Amino acid sequence: MNSIQNNKIPQATAKRLPLYYRFIMNLHASGKQRVSSKELSDAVKVDSATIRRDFSYFGALGKKGYGYNVNYLLSFFRQTLNQDEVVKVCLIGVGNLGTAFLHYNFMKNNNSSIEMAFDIDESKVGKDVGGVPVYHLDDLEDKIQDEFEVAILTVPAQAAQQITDRLVKTGVKGILNFTPARINVPEEIRIHHIDLAVELQSLIYFLKNYPLK
Ligand code: ATP
């Protein structure tokens, strides 16, 4: 296998990796041995020139009339995405959104698992939601110190920064922020913001102003 280092893959390509991985897993499960860039393109809705360029970073060179070897791609993706190691995730804020995530969890087609949740509402603390124990936020440091790599924030916006500061001290490296708050983190911490209200508004704006034909 090509020994490309993850950090050599451009970020835009890296972002598409999980998408490719999911599709290749399905192909593998259905017993397919090879796939063309056209088939991939139709399935994942990425143009085939981009796919060919992305895959060249993976050391996967498609052959004309043959396509890509599914087994090769699968083992490449497994290795690159560290599929053999489960990333422990904690969730803060067991409201409507947090509860939905706990029920959904991510284990189905992912290598991450929400293992603990935290809240300040005494009526939620001590419960099990979707098989995940809910602890009081006061116990955050005790429970997760040096054990959790990723945290999901589904608390009210005004609580987000203070909780983030505590999470960072426990060794969390990545935060998926579902609150509308724009949070400050030290530069070694990666934070991804997902503001569902903004996404919806933006979709509606585009529908109105940039109709597709
Ligand atoms: P959602 O925003 O998920 O729809 P909601 O409307 O049910 O949730 P919110 O007020 O947004 O409720 O709070 C989300 C959750 O965060 C609640 O369970 C609440 O108890 C919890 N929460 C509020 N403040 C804090 C805090 N400082 N630390 C931890 N959890 C908090």
DSSP string for residues in 9-72: S-HHHHHHHHHHHHHHHHHHHTT--EE-HHHHHHHHT--HHHHHHHHHHTT---BTTTBEEHHH
For 88-99, the pLDDT digits (tens) are 999 999 999 999
User: Could you tell me the residue range of the domain that residue 54 belongs to?
Assistant: 11-80
Neighbours of 84 (CB within 10 A): 8
Q: Across the chain, what does the average pLDDT equal?
A: 89
Say which residue, 7 or 170, is predicted with more confidence.
170
Quick one: CA dihedral 119, 125, 128, 134, positive or negative?
Answer: positive
**How far, in Å, from the CA of 129 to the mean position of ligand 1?**
15
Q: Is 1 within the bounds of a domain?
A: no
pLDDT at 136: 98
Buried b (16+ CB within 10 A) or exposed e, 184-194: ebeeeeebeee
- CA 213/CA 208 separation, integer angstroms: 12
158 and 119 part of one domain: yes
97 and 194 part of one domain: yes
Q: Collect all residues with Cβ–Cβ distance below 8 Å to 130 and sequence separation of at least 6.
A: 99, 102, 103, 104, 105
Domain boundary among 36, 51, 80: 80
Q: Is 205 within the bounds of a domain?
A: no
182 and 93 part of one domain: yes
Residue nearest to atom 4 of ligand 1 (CA): 96
For 132-154, the pLDDT digits (tens) are 999 999 999 999 999 999 999 99
Helix (H) or strand (E) holding 94: none
Q: Is 56 within the bounds of a domain?
A: yes
96 and 76 part of one domain: no
Domain boundary among 80, 113, 134: 80
Q: Is 2 within the bounds of a domain?
A: no
- Say if ligand 1 is within 6 A of residue 154 CB: yes
119 and 171 part of one domain: yes
Instruction: Tell me how many domains the chain contains.
Output: 2
Domain of residue 184, CATH code: 3.40.50.720
- Say if ligand 1 is within 6 A of residue 125 CB: no
Task: For residue 134, give the amino acid letter.
Answer: V
**Mean pLDDT highest for which of 37-51, 70-84, 140-154?**
140-154
Residue nearest to atom 10 of ligand 1 (CA): 156
Q: Is 156 within the bounds of a domain?
A: yes
Q: Is 6 within the bounds of a domain?
A: no
